[in-house]
Amino acid sequence: MIQTAPDVKVLAERVVSAFPTLDANGRRLSLELYNELARGAPVSPSALADRADMRAEEVTRQLQGWPGVYYDGEQRVIGFWGLTIAPMPHQLRVNRRELYAWCAWDTLFLPALLDTTLDVESTCRASGDPVRLRVTTREVESAQPAGLVVSFLLPDAEAMNVSVITSFCHYVHFFRSRDAAHPWLLQRPDTFLLPVEDAFELGRLVNQTRYGAALTV
């Protein structure tokens, strides 16, 4: 039996509770890291410290305390909370640069954190058919095919602290329709579907709660 999706506001509360709580310094550091990664190159903690006007030791300590931070061999950040410069199935185009997202939902909440519009290219998890979206800071401006949905599940904070990608992102995909998603969901009873507009609204609520006035939208 396939689950019914929870109310979006209830779901947002659950998602927020699974992520690290951010104080003012954490919000500033997080947003600076997103914007530095969006330049398309690895980010060193020392460079990030300069951008965030924080001590390098404080930045390193904060990054080490957060789950979901990925580094290259030189200990530079290459992936952070949904955004990465390493090739992955969800491709993002911004300012003629190619970036990547960990999961389908990331493509919907990242525009507000980057304060830009993203052109997204992905695929339907079931059929492999192309999926294309244009997502602004305020809405899903366009989505193809029509009827696009996103698979989702209630996140578990403990599991996400171990690996957000394997415990959460591996369950969050685009599907061209509810019918296309049906066989996949039957094998994963903890998952459910969200229309792409509801998944965007979920991202807006989560961003609003976590970042508040630090966001420009």
Please report the domains of the chain, with CATH numbers, ordered by start residue. 8-19+81-212 (3.30.450.410)
CA angle 145, 99, 203 (to 5 degrees): 60
Task: Give the model's pLDDT for residue 95.
Answer: 82
Q: How far apart are CA 70 and CA 63, in angstroms?
A: 10
Question: Exposed, middle or buried, 204 (CB in 10 Å: 0-12/13-18/19+)?
Answer: buried
Q: 103, 115, 179, 198: which one is catalytic?
A: 103
Structure confidence at residue 1 (pLDDT): 64
- Is 103 marked active-site? yes
Residue 113 is predicted with a pLDDT of: 97
Instruction: List, for the chain, all residue ranges whose pLDDT scores fall below the cut of 50.
Output: none
| Catalytic (active site) residue 106 | yes
Q: pTM here?
A: 0.95
How high is the pLDDT of residue 166?
Answer: 92
- Whether 124 sits among the annotated catalytic residues: the reply is no
Among residues 124, 169, 179, 190, the one annotated as catalytic is 169
Give the model's pLDDT for residue 49.
95
> What pLDDT is attached to residue 2?
73
